[in-house]
Amino acid sequence: MSRPVPLPWRLLPALLIAILAACGGRTTVTVGGVEATYQEARGLKDTLKAIRARNTDAAPDGTPLAEIVRRYGETRTALVRDLGRIDPSALGEEDRHAFEVMQRAPGIDLGEEKPPPDAPAAAKPDCAYDPAAVAKEGFDPLSERIYACYGQATENLIFEGKTLDRLTVFSLLPITGDRDRRRGLFLSMEPIWKAVNGDGGPGSPWRTLVRLSAARFREKNASIESSAALLGVDPGKVEPWLVSVLEAWRDATAGADLEPWDFGHAAGAMERALTPHIPRESLRPLNDRVYQDLGADPVLLGVEYDIEPRAGKDPVAYTDFAARPRRLPDGGWTTGRYRVSASYAVGGPGNLNELLHETGHAVHIAAIRNRPAFLDWPDSDTFTEALAELVALDLYDPEWQQRYLGRSVPGPDALRAKYSGIVMDTAWALFEIRMHRDPSLDPNQVWTDLMRDYLHIRPHLEWSWWAVRGQLIDLPGYMLNYALGAILVADLRARTRELYGARPWGDTTWYPRVSDRLYRFGLERPSRQVIEEYLGRPVSPDALIRDLRGR
Ligand SMILES: [Zn+2]
């Protein structure tokens, strides 16, 4: 996934282009010529990423890494030079769009290849600091300090004499049967809560940070909700939508009375029931069969899997281009190559879901057929992530489970498994919206109210147990992407069932048909346009709410 680039670096290529244009004059460079260079640079960059992900020092054809870095540098320089020789005002609409896409790339994901910096010794952050003093330096220094202390705390949780990390604690909560042990696991996270929200008073690190964050949004005349406009959602509707999702969950789980440490366990019945039937060795065969049944055989599409655990591997699962397809002179296309990277030491529905999600990314990008400038991920990460879930969420359908796993769990267990994470993300998004609207509120109170009113979780004002997501510290407002993403996923899935069948498993025309309407565009069209043309209307939360209400 792409990371934001600090502003001066983003401006640099434009500056370079302007200088080169001034020196070199506007000679005869065509958009098609530049695009060939662009395609070459992209291809070399894809190769570099694939080599590094495999921790090797040569391409599959034996070309050494250093040689590819050299060729990439030359091609990139030529690209920046030639872009400067194009006069955009002389271009037609589509070429101008292609030109703009290519012009942005050197400042984003076609950056210069630099030797890796000498790894500085990881210094322990000073976590006995005065938030008000750090806040005087601005949002970033305070956010970085809280994040460093949060990160340190997440790695050092003590439970029953053992040191665990945050994700291990999360993964143990749904499968730990004994309530007292669950309570102990939950309370082992207290150092994280304290690293983020100190004693919980108005001068706490996060409460200080949220005041700076709210002021920053105000200065830009923006709000957390305003990002929704990119997907065609009226910012004014965001909060009522999130509330209506939480209300549907509240009603679907009526009668529950939970402690915070019980929530994961109550949602974990499907995980507990199906784990013995999804051994690690079955993950790949199941994954391949699911997509073959829809006409998207991952092997034939050029998807390569790197899913064995290995030291030094990126801990986060991801998918990317390894080599983009190219149009042949006869109008046909070469087969591209796509890489799925993940680490599976065990099986179970959680890992199967993740593998299906990553393959969802791969079959999406494998369907993109467009000119080189547009042959890329779409312009919205929310849309991209929604497309990855199009097939993966079938895992929560008991009929699907019966077909692929030979057994199934009752519908309510599947529903809780499917939506427990989504309603938590939705609650975090709402929490951030309310805290940004009025930063003087006590976050523990805001969180406690949400948990009690919608998730049937007993109040514990004394604990800042909301403070376990890093995004709340370094990317205020980001949680809304997950909440809106879930709404978009449900809407796209409902529309896909309507168009191509509720249970299309075994219909190999599914993939070509969905590719044609949804997958193939890349950067050619804004995501919002693709979504609205597919749905025949703007996005709406109705599909998700219907699903939650079992209708
Ligand atoms: Zn993804």
- pTM comes to 0.85
| Region at 375 (left for phi over 0; alpha for psi -120 to 50; beta for the rest) | beta
Q: Count Cβ atoms below 10 Å from residue 533 Cβ, excluding itself.
A: 13
Looking at residue 519, the DSSP 8-state letter turns out to be I
66 domain-assigned: yes
Q: For residue 316, report the distance from its CA to the centre of ligand 1, in Å.
A: 10
The 10 Å CB-count burial string (b at 16+, else e) for 316-343 is ebebbbbbbbeeeeeeeeeebbbbbbbe
Q: How many domains does the chain have?
A: 1
Q: Pairing state of beta strands 303-306 and 318-323? A: unpaired
**Which residues have CB atoms below 5 A from the ion given as ligand 1?**
385, 388
The pair of structure tokens assigned to 391 is: 């097939």
**pLDDT, tens digit (0-9, with 9 covering 90-100), for 183-240:** 999 999 999 999 999 999 999 999 999 999 999 999 999 999 998 988 899 999 999 9
Residue partners of 539: CB distance under 8 A and separation at least 6 = 231, 232, 233, 487, 488, 491, 531, 532
Nearest to 458 by CA among 265, 261, 262, 260: 260
For residue 123, what pLDDT band results from cuts at 50, 70 and 90? confident
Tell whether 313 is covered by a domain: no
Q: Is 541 contained in some domain?
A: no
Give me ligand 1 centre to Cα 355, in Å: 10
Helix (H, G, I), strand (E, B) or coil at 89: helix
**How confident is the model at residue 108, as a pLDDT?**
85
* Interval between CA 134 and ligand 1 midpoint (Å): 35
**Strands 337-341 and 303-306, sheet pairing:** parallel
Q: Could you tell me which of 181, 187, 176 has the C-alpha nearest to residue 271?
A: 176
CA 85 / ligand 1 centre spacing (Å) = 37
- Per-residue pLDDT reduced to its tens digit, 287-328: 999 999 999 999 999 999 999 988 777 767 899 999 999 999
Q: Is residue 52 part of a domain?
A: yes
Domain assignment present for 242:
no
Find the domain containing 46 and state its range.
12-107
Q: In this structure, are residues 355 and 294 in contact, taking their beta carbons and an 8 Å threshold?
A: no
How far is the centre of ligand 1, averaged over its atoms, from the C-alpha of 341 (Å)? 11
For residue 22, pLDDT over 50 is answered with no
Q: Does the pLDDT value for residue 479 go beyond 50?
A: yes
DSSP-derived letter for residue 275 is G
Is 80 exceeded by the pLDDT of residue 20? Answer: no
For residue 339, tell me if it sits in a domain: no
Distance 136 CA to ligand 1 centre (A): 37
> Cα(314) to centroid of ligand 1, in Å?
14
Strands 162-164 and 157-159: antiparallel
> What b-and-e string marks burial along 235-259, b requiring 16 or more CB atoms within 10 Å of the CB?
eeebbebbebbbebbbebbeeeebe
How many angstroms is it from 210 CA to the middle of ligand 1?
28
- Cα of 497 vs centre of ligand 1, distance in Å, is 21
Confidence of residue 363 (pLDDT cuts 50, 70, 90): very high
CA of 422 to the centre of ligand 1 (A): 15
Taking a C-beta distance cutoff of 8 angstroms, is the pair 320, 49 a contact? Answer: yes
* Residue 53 within a domain: yes
20 CA to centre of ligand 1 in angstroms = 38
Q: How many A from CA of 317 to the centre of ligand 1?
A: 8
Going edge to edge, which strands form the sheet with 303-306? 303-306, 337-341, 318-323
CB–CB of 336/319 below 8 Å? no
Q: How far apart are CA 336 and CA 462, in angstroms?
A: 54
Beta-bridge partner residues of 371: none
Write out pLDDT tens, residues 7-18: 444 444 554 444
How many residues comprise the chain? 551
Backbone angles phi, psi at 164, to 5 degrees: -120, 160
For residue 128, the tally of other CB atoms under 10 A from its CB is 6
**Cα 82 to ligand 1 centroid, rounded to whole Å:** 34
In a domain, 63, yes or no: yes
Dihedral sign, Cα of residue 404, residue 291, residue 281, residue 313: negative
User: What is the pLDDT, as a whole number, of residue 2?
Assistant: 38
Q: Which letter does DSSP use for residue 505 in this model?
A: T
Tell me how far the alpha carbon of residue 70 lies from the centroid of ligand 1, in angstroms. Answer: 31
Q: What is the pLDDT of residues 298-308, one digit of tens each?
A: 999 999 999 99
Between 24 and 273, the more confident residue is: 273
Report whether pLDDT(252) > 90. yes
**Centre of ligand 1 from the C-alpha of residue 357, in Å:** 6
CA 22 / ligand 1 centre spacing (Å): 42
Q: Ligand 1 mean position to 258 CA, how many Å?
A: 31
- How many angstroms is it from 358 CA to the middle of ligand 1? 6
Average pLDDT score over residue span 469-498:
94
What does the mean pLDDT of the chain come to?
91
Element (H, E) at 306: strand 303-306
Region 28-41: what's the mean pLDDT? 90
Instruction: Please report how the helices 65-83 and 93-104 are oriented relative to each other, as an axis angle in degrees rounded to 10.
Output: 130
Distance of CA 159 from the midpoint of ligand 1 (Å): 31
Average pLDDT over residues 113-128: 69
Please write the tens of the pLDDT for every residue from 102-120. 999 998 889 888 755 554 5
Instruction: Give residue 388 CA to ligand 1 midpoint distance, Å.
Output: 6
Q: In the prediction, which pLDDT does 313 show? A: 74
Residue owning tokens 């990314």: 361
Q: How far is the CA of 361 from the centre of ligand 1 (A)?
A: 7
User: Would you state the pLDDT for residue 122?
Assistant: 58
